[in-house]
Amino acid sequence: MLRRLIDGLTPLRKAAHKGHAEVVRLLVDARADISKSMSLRIAALKGHSEVVHLLIEAGMDINKARTKDGVSPPHSAVQKGHVEIVHLLREAGMQESKTERPKNHQAKSVQIKMSTAISVA
- Residue 27: closest CA among 17, 16, 43, 38: 16
Name the percent of the chain lying above pLDDT 90.
Answer: 44
Alpha-carbon torsion 20, 22, 25, 29, what sign?
Answer: negative
Q: Which fold has domain 11-120?
A: 1.25.40
- Region 103-113 average pLDDT: 50
Number of Cβ atoms within 10 Å of the Cβ of 106: 11
Distance CA 51, CA 39 (A): 9
CA dist., res. 48 & res. 33, Å (int): 19
Q: What is the average pLDDT score of the chain?
A: 79
Looking at residue 5, its pLDDT comes to 60
Q: How confident is the model over 59-95, as pLDDT tens digits?
A: 988 888 778 788 888 888 988 999 999 999 989 988 7
pLDDT band per the 50, 70, 90 thresholds, residue 104: low
Nearest Cα residue to 110 out of 74, 66, 58 = 74
Residue ranges of the domains in the chain? 11-120
